[in-house]
Amino acid sequence: MSFDFQLIYESWPLFVKGIAVTIFISLISISVSFFIGVAVALMRLTEKRIPVLIAVSYIELIRNTPFLIQVYIAFFVLPAVGIRMEAMTAGIVCLAVYGGAYFAENIRGAILAIPRGQEEAAKALGLSYWKIQRKVIFPQMLGYLIPTTTNLTLSLIKDTAILSVITVPELTYMAQVMIGEAFAPVEGFTVIALMYWGLNSIVAAAARKWEYHSCRHLRVNADSSEKVVVAVLPETR
Amino acid sequence: MDFDFAGITPHLPAFVQGAFVTLGVSIPGALLGIVVGLVLVAGQRAPIAPVRWASSTYVSFIRGTPLLVQIFFVYYALPGLFGFNIPAYFAGVLALCLNSGAFVTEILRAGLSSLPLGQWDAAKSVGLSRYKTWRFVILPQLFYRILPPLTNEFTMVVKATPLLSVITVVEITRTAQHVMNETFRPVEAFVVAAIFYFVMLFSLSRATRKLETWAEAYRA
Amino acid sequence: MFSSIRNISILRATTVAAVCAFAISIPGVASADGLLAKIKKDGKFNVATEAAYEPYEFMKDGKIVGYSKQILNHVVADLGVNLNQLDLPFQGILPGLLANKYDFVATSVSINAKRAKKYAYTRPVGTNQNVVLVRVKEDRIKSSDDLAGMVVATQLASSMEPVAKEHSAKLKADGKKGYGDLKLFQAIPETIVALASSQVDAVIVGSVQAAVALKKRPGTFKIVSKLGNPRYLAWVARPADKDLRDYMNVQIGKLVASGKIAEWQKEWFGFEMDMPSEGYLPEGAQ
């Protein structure tokens, strides 16, 4: 079996364009979805009926329908009710809305994981609300948030591939265009698989460094070589 | 823009058939995925270094690449590499189980490491053989710990089945595409598909949560 | 002594018999090499179709139907075998044939020089003229030149994709802008739905698909102009399977001669098409 390296070399600009779009979409959607997640988590945590109802409906609806269906609905169905979005915009919005529901659950879990005592003790010490959030609550949340956020980020980066079905010009779409012309599925899919793997490995490594750095106070043995084991399940494929 | 939901009713049997196909790929995919996961967990603990390395690399690769790309690879590229032909349904089940297996590995690993080390030591000190230890001490406790995450994993597999529509497995999403192609009415087709999925996935997530509380009661 | 002579005779007789049997079987072996004979022997004909090209081949109520399907049914009845028809995306259908995934491609494939070198086309089953389809209220696009700067859609890996790319390049060479964007969808109905929902400004499809769109969603679309020259649509076999291809040509010829093809074309398209029996293949074709 021969691997057509010449073809890969010729198609390389296509792949570079593709992964640039992938990174671009990931950056924007994941950032937006984080903020959506914070907002929805806070809504969920208020004890008032209406915000809780809205938050729960949003989370359950988004988490119990597959991403591909959401993408098809955004692209083919929303125009019928007047919301027209170009492919790239639709892709970013879809991914942000999808990620937002999952971030909301993660953040809610992080907030609930902090013992109440922390907040009460800080209050007893006379710290202001914002000081408490910034100096006491948030650093402790990081220990919980970073692994779950990393998992979710990696999943969302992989989910950008699904946007290829509505012709968003990201990496998987570029591969299909190249394969459509040259019919070399082995070369095409191998190359993009390796590129995704590389991208995700870089992100995962950066996240591990960040976790190491910001969770100094949580580590049991300062010189232990054990990685911080968090048995957190990935949320999406 | 006019909606014609009544016009979609003659297509409902097709959607129901699609739902059966969805289950028909998810259940084998998830079950085989557990088998793959067991193999990988064993591989990660193997005494031979290349086997350990291969297992970890495989898990890292599957978790680092999109499932859609894996599905394309299994259906289009594998036959090119090995020269055999594989119908869409089997390619779909294969891709799903190879993918799910990597995530099941993590569930099994986490489950095993959540067992108190004392269990192993106590079993040894009482004189139980390896087989007896696994059968009577470890596995019963493991079962309750891994059942909820495994059910969650099954939910993820069902959620992943729409991707099989791109290799023309006629599950719910592909049925919706057929209906859309036939009637040029995407709204009705995809809303119906979304409802089918929501019902399936919501029930599964409820079941998972019930399982969690049920399993809590049995854990030491 | 007699026994040894008898043994030799028996040995000789057996050898002669074996050689005769082998000789008789050789023609049988030779003919079994042909795909057509193999299909007849196995009783199964594996055919690939992209059932998203109405009214040639399309899905209705979960079954593949259409003008091409009618021809195929007739051929299969004549062969006396079971038909195993797969519905596959167009992008992999021709390469899949070369990869021996199935025996034959019975889907409408445009005849062009590049494909004719790699595949063995049958004689045409229909003709196709590419047109530009837009929304009925579209005022910006009145001719194919107005596609400059517009978002255009067509099918990925089809014969329309290079036509679109060439047209865009020609517009640029003429001093106008090329297409604003060329979006490639997996199937033609997706491009038409995208046009209806204003995701794209124009689509390039065959005139027959455009007619279907006009019929299914009245008052939504209009055809603006033609694009490129008309092409013949034919079925495809592997270059090694010329016996199957020639058999198909004979069958199609019979249907043309008996008037059945004209009847079916009127039924599915509303008009008759040119059905040449020769001169349709470009230079260097298989």
CB count within 10 Å of CB B81 equals 13
Q: Is residue A74 part of a domain?
A: yes
Q: Is residue A33 part of a domain?
A: yes
How far apart (Å, rounded) are the C-alpha atoms in residues B192 and B172?
9
Total tally of structural domains belonging to chain A? 1
Q: Is residue A176 part of a domain?
A: yes
Same domain, C122 and C136: no
Q: Is residue C278 part of a domain?
A: no
Total tally of structural domains belonging to chain C? 3
Same domain, C70 and C91: yes
Contact B63 A231 (CB under 8 A): no
What is the per-residue pLDDT across C208-265, written as a single tens digit (0 to 9) for each?
889 888 888 888 899 999 988 888 999 999 999 989 999 999 999 999 999 989 999 8
**In angstroms, what separates the C-alpha of A152 from chain B's closest C-alpha?**
12
Q: For the residues A19-34, what does the mean pLDDT come to?
A: 96
In a structure prediction context, what are the per-residue pLDDT tens digits for chain C, which is 286 residues long? 445 545 555 656 555 555 545 544 444 344 446 888 888 888 889 999 998 888 899 988 778 999 999 999 998 898 889 999 988 888 888 888 887 888 999 999 988 888 888 899 999 999 989 999 999 988 898 888 889 889 999 998 888 998 999 999 999 998 888 898 899 998 898 899 889 888 899 999 998 889 888 888 888 899 999 988 888 999 999 999 989 999 999 999 999 999 989 999 888 888 888 888 888 888 777 7
How far apart (Å, rounded) are the C-alpha atoms in residues B139 and B130?
12
Contact A69 B190 (CB under 8 A): yes
Q: Is residue C193 part of a domain?
A: yes
Contact C217 B168 (CB under 8 A): no
Q: Is residue A230 part of a domain?
A: no
pLDDT over 90 at A161, yes or no: yes
A222: tokens are 């300062």
Contact B69 A81 (CB under 8 A): no
Q: Is residue C286 part of a domain?
A: no
Q: Is residue A235 part of a domain?
A: no
Same domain, C216 and C242: no
pLDDT number for residue B100: 96
Contact A236 B66 (CB under 8 A): no
Residues of C with CB under 8 A from a CB of B: 52, 58-62, 87-89, 92, 99-101, 186-187, 189-190, 192-193, 196-197, 213, 216-217
On whether any CB of chain B is under 8 Å from the CB of A65, the answer is yes
CA-nearest of C82, C43, C47, C50 to C66 is C50
How far apart (Å, rounded) are the C-alpha atoms in residues C44 and C83?
6
Q: Is residue A15 part of a domain?
A: yes
Find the CATH number of the domain harbouring A31: 1.10.3720.10
Domains of chain B, CATH where assigned: 10-218 (1.10.3720.10)
Contact A201 B190 (CB under 8 A): no
Cα→Cα distances B52→B36, B42, B46, Å = 15, 9, 6
Q: Is residue C76 part of a domain?
A: yes
Q: For the residues B28-42, what does the mean pLDDT come to?
A: 94
How far apart (Å, rounded) are the C-alpha atoms in residues C34 and C41?
11
What is the per-residue pLDDT across A182-203, written as a single tens digit (0 to 9) for each?
778 888 999 999 999 999 999 9
ipTM: 0.88
Q: Which residue range forms the structural domain that includes residue A77?
A: 5-218
Nearest C-alpha in B relative to A62: B198
Same domain, C123 and C249: yes
Instruction: Say what the pTM is.
Output: 0.83
pLDDT number for residue A119: 77
Q: Is residue C239 part of a domain?
A: yes
Q: Which residue range forms the structural domain that includes residue C78?
A: 37-127+234-268
Q: Is residue A231 part of a domain?
A: no
Q: Are C273 and C129 in contact (CB under 8 A)?
A: no
Q: Is residue C274 part of a domain?
A: no
Q: Is residue C61 part of a domain?
A: yes
What is the per-residue pLDDT across B101-137, written as a single tens digit (0 to 9) for each?
999 999 999 888 888 888 888 888 988 888 888 888 8
Same domain, C138 and C258: no
Same domain, C241 and C213: no
Q: Considering only A39-48, A164-173, A207-216, which range has the smallest mean pLDDT? A: A207-216
How confident is residue A237, by pLDDT bands cut at 50, 70 and 90?
A: low
Nearest C-alpha in A relative to B188: A77
Same domain, C122 and C246: yes
Q: Is residue A196 part of a domain?
A: yes
Find the CATH number of the domain harbouring C152: 3.40.190.10
